[in-house]
Chain A
């Protein structure tokens, strides 16, 4: 078999799972600035599947593709610390305000610059929470898709075998390559950083980030220059990008604010509970 080329789609997201006390403002709304930017959790599960394939298939390569602002290059480095070969940052103001359709359009055009046998994604990003980008990319590239992957069982005769986790069970499917696979959070966690790779790649930079005083280092080691693309580097129609290319429009956004109900406080003693049960029976809630 020819060498396997794997691209992992990964997104940098605000850590919406840890909306702790300091992340909530006094008015009960989210203080986004207090949320750290992290590697989307299920994209790490996808990266692990990619790295396992790289170990199994000699010569296989793993590259990250991320669309986002300059600082999203952090997750490319993070992936390289764990064994990815490199990555591409797709970054342009023209992408701002993209819904999932415009996002998948831009990503699919960037993938047009690359060779791939398998495109791995996370199932879902924890900020937009839609799980739509993977299947939409697959459709735009005319590829089949395998969603909710929990384990890649193997690749034989140009076909990949994948175990899927469904809401009430599991399914094993066989799909010809190239294909898009979206990986579920129930798949094995990603391996930790490798200290040697951290040393090797910690100065890797996308051009937007600026090399600073490390410019010389980057000249000596071209692998430290992370590839960065803007709209001019991918073949695309401007009308399909960003807000213009997004059929969905956000009409309103409300922060979720707790609103207290009128409630009745009861004592936990016998008299209190006796009273409660009588009341619930009387108003036909129970009984």
Chain B
């Protein structure tokens, strides 16, 4: 009883990366707590979807397959979660900090009077003593998140209300298959028992959603450019280096705002969080909103004309110089030495 639940998003028959990342984290939390990991999938045409979930360590997959559940609308999904949570009383419920999860999570938490922590960057199990009542709580979910424009990091707990709810952005947690052969139990939900016509008052009349083409999150090597790159044309140099090394191109917000690179490449607090093997920051000053999205990279190289640029504090290798001369040299010497 009192499982860890993960709400899973589906994109064209495939479980979203963010949900698989949460299942991976959820598995670790459930094991630490000695409880089951349960996944919830609400959608349409979901035949066989559980096969994508079990390898991540899911014990129970709750599935509601109904034409009216896709595309996502708030009221039916929220009501199903509220009723299911009232019956199953999970101790932890996780969802993606996506346009779906951030629409759904607050609605569900409001109905259940449970706390919700937005945009967590880390989740851990730990104990807590209330400062006023001195009451001790064992095995709470520590929900760690930046706030105040990324200038502070808060650890938040929900001592008394259940479930303890949290949202997490795509790319923040790692996804990892536990056992490809693993199977669990499927529980089918009968939508008619949960929903009425009145829950479908909001109609989606048009929808254009692109598939995520860029896989910046999965790249082992990222060559990232900032405002210092100077132009869209100059970004070509970064693409050349990335192609040579077998990596992807990332960007700071200032570079995206200036139109040098598309938004899907943005790294940082309001972009993607990445943790590649190698991160090469070219013409990026290293403001906290940017470094929040790359500080867990294994190795960082900073190329900047300013020897005091804050990015240098995050770098393993600091190259003080003009990226326009340094990058061509990197390409040249990589080719020479890798032969």
Residues of A at the B interface (CB closer than 8 Å) are 14, 16-17, 19, 30, 99-101, 104, 126-136, 138-140, 144-148, 161, 164, 166-176, 246-256, 258-268, 270, 272-274, 276-278, 280-281, 285-287
* Contact pick for B147, options A129, A258, A278, CB 8 Å: A129
Residues of chain A contacted by B338 (CB below 8 angstroms): 277, 281, 286-287
Query: Residue on A with the closest CB to B316?
Result: A263
Residues of chain A contacted by B71 (CB below 8 angstroms): 171
* Contact pick for B203, options A127, A128, A174, A280, CB 8 Å: A174
Once the chains bind, are B245 and A136 in contact (CB under 8 Å)?
no
Residues of chain B contacted by A164 (CB below 8 angstroms): 99
Once the chains bind, are B115 and A281 in contact (CB under 8 Å)?
no
Residues of chain A contacted by B312 (CB below 8 angstroms): 260, 263
Once the chains bind, are A273 and B152 in contact (CB under 8 Å)?
no
Once the chains bind, are B317 and A259 in contact (CB under 8 Å)?
no
Residues of chain A contacted by B44 (CB below 8 angstroms): none
Q: Which of B292-310 contact A (CB under 8 A)?
A: 298-301, 303, 310
Once the chains bind, are B106 and A277 in contact (CB under 8 Å)?
no
Once the chains bind, are B118 and A174 in contact (CB under 8 Å)?
no
Q: Which of B57-115 contact A (CB under 8 A)?
A: 71, 73-75, 78, 98-99, 102-103, 105-107, 109-111, 113-115
Residues of chain A contacted by B157 (CB below 8 angstroms): 248-249, 251
Residues of chain B contacted by A175 (CB below 8 angstroms): 201-203
Once the chains bind, are B116 and A161 in contact (CB under 8 Å)?
no
Residues of chain A contacted by B208 (CB below 8 angstroms): 169-171
Residues of chain B contacted by A146 (CB below 8 angstroms): 202
- Chain A interface, DSSP helix/strand/loop, else mixed: mixed
* Contact pick for B103, options A128, A147, A268, CB 8 Å: A147
10 contacts between A and B (CB under 8 A): A30-B152, A99-B115, A101-B110, A176-B202, A258-B313, A273-B326, A273-B333, A274-B333, A274-B337, A277-B336
Once the chains bind, are B109 and A253 in contact (CB under 8 Å)?
no
Once the chains bind, are B316 and A148 in contact (CB under 8 Å)?
no
CA of A164 to CA of B203, assembled, Å: 13
Known A128-B147, A268-B320, A277-B334: A255·B110 in contact at CB below 8 Å: no
Known A263-B317, A287-B338: A172·B278 in contact at CB below 8 Å: no
Once the chains bind, are A272 and B337 in contact (CB under 8 Å)?
no
Once the chains bind, are B151 and A277 in contact (CB under 8 Å)?
no
* Per-residue contact bits, chain B 201-218, to A (CB 8 Å; 1 contact, 0 not): 111111111111000000
B301 → A minimal CB distance (Å): 8
Q: Report if B178 contacts A (CB, 8 A).
A: no
Once the chains bind, are B212 and A140 in contact (CB under 8 Å)?
no
Query: Residue on A with the closest CB to B128?
Result: A251
* Contact pick for A250, options B156, B278, B301, CB 8 Å: B156
Residues of chain A contacted by B325 (CB below 8 angstroms): 268
Known A129-B148, A253-B152: A261·B202 in contact at CB below 8 Å: no
A100 → B minimal CB distance (Å): 7
CA of A262 to CA of B325, assembled, Å: 25
Q: Report if B155 contacts A (CB, 8 A).
A: yes
Once the chains bind, are A264 and B313 in contact (CB under 8 Å)?
no
15 more A-B residue pairs beyond the given contacts A171-B209, A176-B202, A268-B322, with a C-beta to C-beta distance below 8 A = A19-B149, A129-B118, A130-B106, A135-B107, A136-B110, A168-B209, A173-B73, A247-B115, A249-B158, A249-B159, A256-B151, A270-B333, A273-B332, A274-B337, A278-B337
Once the chains bind, are A260 and B115 in contact (CB under 8 Å)?
no
Interchain residue pairs A-B with the least CB separation, the first 9? A268-B321, A16-B149, A247-B115, A169-B209, A248-B115, A247-B161, A132-B106, A130-B118, A172-B206
* Contact pick for B205, options A17, A174, A254, CB 8 Å: A174
CA of A127 to CA of B151, assembled, Å: 10
Known A248-B115, A251-B155: A16·B333 in contact at CB below 8 Å: no
Q: Report if B136 contacts A (CB, 8 A).
A: no
CA of A268 to CA of B326, assembled, Å: 6
CA of A126 to CA of B148, assembled, Å: 7
CA of A129 to CA of B75, assembled, Å: 23
B191 → A minimal CB distance (Å): 19
